[in-house]
Amino acid sequence: GIGPELPDELFVLPVENLLLQQNSIRTVPASLSDLAPTLRYLHFFQNVLEADSFPASMRDLANLAFLEVSANRIATDDGDLPDELYGIPNLQQLDAVCVGITRVRGELWDSPLTLLQLKHNAVTELPAPTAEQAAAMPGLAD
């Protein structure tokens, strides 16, 4: 397996689909943003990621359309997704199944999500998207 650290050398390749499931990864390096021009799919299913494992540079992944973080204990102290997972500009699918969250913030809808998977968490309510956010989301706009 890979982990707990990812080698920076991994991020010099023009990768579009990065599958890192079922490893021992503890942190996502800031150098992941070096893949911003090409990276569209990122899979971190079943690693040992936590709330502080993600760099702020996650928001620099302008072409990232799919993010899989399921089966990691990434909930923050207040039960939310890590701040770094909000504001990924073109994220269409977020799989956050069984990650220990109890809430999400409305700014989640700032990404053009078409699929949001939050199964097997203790989320009690989802904030409704604003009219502006809903208009920008495929399938919710009139």
pLDDT tens-digit series, residues 86-141 = 999 999 999 999 999 999 999 998 888 889 999 999 999 889 888 888 777 766 54
**Domain containing residue 14: CATH number:** 3.80.10.10
**2: in domain:** no
**3: in domain:** no
**19: in domain:** yes
What's residue 7's pLDDT? 74
**44: in domain:** yes
* Residue 73 or 4, more confident: 73
User: Model confidence over 20-68: pLDDT tens digits?
Assistant: 999 999 999 999 999 999 999 999 999 999 999 999 999 999 999 999 9
What Cα–Cα distance (Å) separates residue 52 from each residue in 4, 13, 17? 14, 25, 23
**1: in domain:** no
What's residue 67's pLDDT? 98
**84: in domain:** yes
pLDDT grade for 142, boundaries at 50, 70 and 90: very low
The total of other beta-carbon atoms located within 10 Å of residue 42's CB is 23
Q: Which domain holds residue 128?
A: 8-136
**142: in domain:** no
What Cα–Cα distance (Å) separates residue 18 from each residue in 64, 66, 68, 115? 11, 10, 10, 19
pLDDT grade for 10, boundaries at 50, 70 and 90: confident
Q: Are 58 and 34 in contact (CB under 8 A)?
A: no
Please state the domain count of the chain.
1
